[in-house]
Amino acid sequence: EVQLVESGGGLVQPGGSLRLSCAASGFTFSDPYMDWVRQAPGKGLEWVGRIRNKGNSYTAEYAASVQGRFTISRDDSKNSVYLQMNSLNTEDTAVYYCARAPSYYASGIIDWGQGTLVTVSS
């Protein structure tokens, strides 16, 4: 059974930083692309970014709203993917989901974690 378990959420002040982790199990972690998607309270889903696999040089893409502030990384030896968030502002308040996508161009997300809440507030 595929499991994606996020951690690291919490309360952070505007301008601060936070690092989210996602521990994966139930599949060969090194194969798929890994995404982060967020959902602000009462709002819809917003894609944050994607990191590809080793065969695709671990390249990453980001949404314009987080480009330059957020960084996605992965450690295949630890079956984990990370989201480093810097220069946070109140609009980044959301539940952040880790997700898995097959390793081909334009693939869609097929599995989701349960999410972790990030609150940016003074």
Partner 1 sequence: QSVLTQPPSVSGTPGQRVTISCSGSSSNIGSNTVNWYQQLPGTAPKVLIYSNNQRPSGVPDRFSGSKSGTSASLAISGLQSEDEADYYCAAWDDSLNGMVFGGGTKVTVL
Chain residues binding partner 1 by CB under 8 A are 35, 37, 44-47, 49-50, 61-64, 97, 105-115
Q: Which is nearer to partner 1, 15 or 102 (CB)?
A: 102
Do 72 and 49 form a contact (C-beta atoms < 8 A)?
yes
Spatial separation of the C-alpha atoms in residues 50 and 74, rounded to whole Å? 10
CB of 16 to partner 1, least distance (A): 25
For partner 1, the closer of residues 18 and 113 by Cβ is 113
Cα–Cα distances in angstroms (integers) from residue 30 to residues 54, 101, 109, in the given order: 7, 12, 16
Q: Which is nearer to partner 1, 29 or 35 (CB)?
A: 35
